[in-house]
Chain A
Amino acid sequence: MTPFLHINGIRKTYGDVVATDHVELSIAEGEFMTFLGPSGSGKSTTLYILAGFQDPTSGDIKLRGQSILQTPSHKRNIGMVFQRYTLFPHLTVGENVAFPLRVRRMGQSEVAEKVKRALALVRLDGFEDRMPAKMSGGQQQRVALARALVYDPPVLLMDEPLSALDKKLREEIQFEIRRIHQETGVTILYVTHDQEEALRLSDRIAIFNKGKIEQVGTGPELYANPATHFVADFIGDSAFLAGELAGVAEGRAGLRFADGSTVAAVPLHGRGIAGQAAELMLRPERIELSPEPGPEGASLPVTVEDLTFLGNNTTVSARTGWGGALSVRLNFGHPLSARIARGDRLHIRWAPEAAHAFVRG
């Protein structure tokens, strides 16, 4: 079956700079797909190639099986909301939203009807005659959203549309975007470098790094099963303990650390052989602290270095026998939190699926 939208090996270079490197992605109709990654990782470039503002150096983009690269931007029928405010400053809100319909030479009554519906969708009924300069940033972005949706595009692109807004407003509009996605069923490609925003909004997330996609998956998949060190680091907090592979079997590995302590049967990502440098990843909320050692191979002795009370939890900073740093979260009311002190020698332990090993290199 041909995917709804297929980004097929897109590569884009500017001189020596590789902006995107063989980006490959299939998106289903109605899906909310987010591009998440650090600054300069090629998220916008991919989006702008979809919009037709840039031509890829190689690769293709297919919508319902048809390449769209030869179609100029204004005929692609794609909607987009930009990071900066891009309302037409000389037109009222109503005229802004009507603009795409006017350039499509749509009849007067139909335009009025659609504009009304689009403004209702973004909850700005009655703002038709307002000038953009007289609206708040959040309102302007909602008008931009209405303008991008009024012509029922099959795909809506959003490039960090909320990054200029403050945190509270941002959350409010995230909620609105989710609702609008559900109501319209439009396919959305959303760019952000805020992981919370990505997790809150998306059906699936594509993690970008240095022009490549590191992993694609739902939020829980990326959290529970990161494919690379980069993804593990980017989604959620984690500690990485450096050591070497002691043995590899059936996708699981044993690791040995500088002081000779070992762990066993950790899910291994990447190919490696015994003796190779590797690291153990542990998330602070998925390990337990206890006076007794846990089952052999899923436990390590640690020394408490510091305790920080953070309201709903107490974060314990600790060091392993060879000096590796990690932290553990104790929920409020955890029996240990009142009893432990700096310098205490304790043990950490974890469920077999909670730890991950990454080959280094």
Chain B
Amino acid sequence: MLLDFHKLGAWRWVLTAICAVMSLFLLLPILFIVALSFGNSRWLIFPPPGWTLKWYEELFADPRWIGAALTSAKIGVIVMVISVVLGLLASLALVRGTFRGRAVLRAFFLTPMVLPVVIVAVALYAAFLRLGLNGTLPGFVIAHVIVALPFAIITITGALETFDPAIEDAAILCGASPWEARLRVTLPGIRHGLFSAAIFSFLISWDEVVLAIFMASPTLQTLPVKVWTTLRQDLTPVIAAASTLLVALTVLLMIAAAVLRKGKSE
């Protein structure tokens, strides 16, 4: 009854309407900035009096924006590699290990995810002041890995749990050493999980604001830091242009993920 869409009667329309309104609520702000980024009003009048590409020109003409984007990409890639490798090792321990206290260890690995980022940021800021890591690339990388790792662990653990260890055992009896079996059988078997973990880790690093604000220095900042500092001065349409490019990137990654998922279900 209530769980059969076609038997809901009039309620069906109520539910559909709520869904539609909520979808518009989620979608409109995103479409709105995309539109504004092409509008020629510096004061963000909507609908804009005319259309222009000048905000994009301004964005690409400013080496600070380009530099910040490149920094973000560089940090994102390093964070991605480190958190997938550490996440894989940790997941092997959590899923295939036999030691006691695995549940506790898993909860421990996930705490950076549940703790408010601001606490992690402030704590690391203090530690890095002492270690001289503030405003350095390693400082950024370490901070981002701390928050990306839990997501990598969740994703890889999930993939590993559905991969039958008997398959690994079979490879070993076939003559593969334990490491050979992991590399040639288990890794390809969970490759979808590893790819998702990589995408997640990159996106988390790429979008990280709070940690980045605390890690940044005038000479080294990521894209979100640049957006943040600009936002605090004024709401220039250049940010709309930058945001639109970020939305485009999100859409691309979502399509990539969808294609991946399709490949997996085949």
Contacts and interface: CB of A to CB of B under 8 A. Distances in A.
A82 interface: yes
Interface stretch (A72-80, A222-230, A309-317): A72-80
Contacts of A182: none
Given A103-B175, A103-B176, A89 B166 contact: no
Nearest to A153: B173
A143 B11 CA distance: 53
Contact of B175 (A77, A88, A90): A77
A148 B174 CA distance: 7
B175 A84 contact: no
Contact of A99 (B164, B169, B174): B174
A183 to B, nearest CB: 21
A151 interface: yes
Contacts of B177: 72, 74
Contacts of A100: 174-175
A51 interface: yes
B175 A104 contact: yes
Contacts of B191: 90
Contacts of A75: 175
A27 to B, nearest CB: 18
A151 B174 contact: yes
A86 interface: yes
Nearest to B170: A86
Interface in B162-187: 164, 166-167, 169-178, 180-181, 184-185
B112 interface: no
Interface residues of B, number: 20
Kindly state the interface size class of chain A when it binds its partner: 20 to 34
B263 to A, nearest CB: 11
A75 B171 CA distance: 12
B189 interface: yes
Contacts of A74: 172-178, 180-181
Given A100-B174, A100-B175, A53 B169 contact: yes
A336 to B, nearest CB: 54
A43 interface: no
A100 to B, nearest CB: 4
Contacts of A51: 169, 173
Given A74-B173, A80-B173, 14 more contacts: A73-B173, A74-B172, A74-B176, A74-B178, A74-B181, A82-B169, A84-B164, A88-B171, A88-B188, A99-B174, A99-B176, A99-B184, A103-B176, A103-B184
21 contacts: A51-B169, A72-B177, A73-B172, A73-B173, A74-B173, A74-B178, A74-B180, A79-B173, A82-B169, A84-B166, A88-B167, A88-B189, A89-B167, A90-B189, A90-B191, A91-B188, A99-B174, A99-B184, A103-B180, A103-B184, A147-B174
Interface of B: 164, 166-167, 169-178, 180-181, 184-185, 188-189, 191
